[in-house]
Amino acid sequence: MNIKVTIYDVAREAGVGIGTVSRVLNNHPSVTPETRKLVKDVLVRLNYQPHTYAQRLAKRHSETISAIIPFFSTYFFVEVLRGVQDKISQTGYDLVLYGVNDPQQVDSYIIRALDRGRVDGILFFSMQLPDHIVPRLRETATPIVLVDSSSPDFDSISVANAEGAYVATNHLIELGYESVGMIGANPTSNPAAQRLAGFRRAIESHNITFDESIVRRGTSSRLDGFNREAGYQAMTEFLEDGSEMPKAFFVSSDVQAIGALDALNEHGLEVPKDVALVGFDDIELARHVRLTTMRQPMYQMGALAVERLLARMGDPALEILHTTFSPTLIIRESCGAILRSRITSGK
């Protein structure tokens, strides 16, 4: 049976204190060359293997980055985390994921990450950073980068959600749709609130009166409403409430748009012949269902967030940087633009 050699064994064999052995292991300059050679010879002879976690604590580095992120299962976060993981895998750092199912968990997860130097840096996704946590972050000087969120106090990587919603809605209006509705998500979510604001701005910029009745969200709270069920339910409400429904819709996410598409199909309506749709995200499924959408660089956001966090960890005095990506309109069949072009050209 192999007996693990401890730092105490090394100290006893070398005739020095454990503090001296620790300083040798961490290349501390206070150790004389003679003592350093003596201890290293014993380390080799006894085949001492230092405990990785103990080494990290001694260096005051955990070599770990935490990601505090809501609802792992959405397509958006799968892509963002792929960028995070690919970039981190090149660095030797470990990644610890904290999945937030309830906003009240945010405090405990941040405090847990800060406690006893558990992590060297934090990636914080798509939620509002609690104001009372800011002083604690400053006090501990823990590097943090916000993703799909923002704060004047910390680095951030985000998407111009309001701008994207405006472009999507404006595209439908310019195609000639006189009534445009929206399938939204939980307005307590920052991206959802911003996309609603962009939708409303586009409507009002064309001198169309904004009416809350043209916005439906469904009642599903899972994933803040960014899910297929919420999209399906919201479109079903439009279809079955007895009033005349819009002929075109901006939908807050592609996965909701897929649910809305299912509801339309069940009611015998064709997209885009009867109803036009534009989504947001450009997940892989969007291409397969020919969904017009606003593309956001999900993978790149994750990778860039890690790059910025590593830079902040290396130089805490760096100027705070806010990076905002502009989403791109990807035109496919669902908005009706291609169909209208064919009709106009006579093809």
Considering the domain architecture, whether residues 126 and 197 belong to the same structural domain is answered as no
Within this chain, do residues 292 and 302 fall inside the same structural domain, yes or no?
no
The whole-model pTM stands at 0.75
d(CA 120, CA 309): 9
User: What integer is the mean pLDDT of 39-67?
Assistant: 70
Q: Which pLDDT value is given to residue 341?
A: 59
CB contact set of 133 (below 8 Å; sequence gap of 6+): 106, 107, 110, 111
Q: Is residue 293 helix, strand or coil?
A: strand
90 and 130 share one domain: yes
Domain extent for 177:
161-296+330-345
Together in a domain, 216 and 338: yes
User: Could you tell me if 95 and 146 lie in one domain?
Assistant: yes
Residue 2 lies inside a defined structural domain of this protein: no
Question: Can you tell me whether residue 125 is helix, strand or coil?
Answer: strand
Looking at the 3D structure of the chain, how many domains does it have? 3
Of 298, 293, 291, the residue nearest 334 (C-alpha): 291
Residues 167 and 140 both lie in one domain:
no
pLDDT tens column, 127-153: 888 888 888 888 778 899 999 888 899
Bridging pattern class, strands 144-147 and 121-125: parallel
Identify whether residues 165 and 254 lie together within a single domain: yes
Q: Which helix (H) or strand (E) holds 128?
A: none
**Ordered alpha helix ranges (H), 141-291:** 161-174, 190-205, 228-240, 254-266, 284-288
d(CA 216, CA 228): 14
Q: Domain of 29: which CATH number?
A: 1.10.260.40
Q: Residue 157: CB partners within 8 Å, gap ≥ 6?
A: 145, 146, 147, 148, 301, 304, 305, 308, 323, 325
Q: In this predicted model, what pLDDT tens digit does every residue of 151-178 receive, in sequence order?
A: 899 999 999 999 999 999 999 999 999 8
Instruction: Say which DSSP state 74 is in.
Output: S
In a domain, 23, yes or no: yes
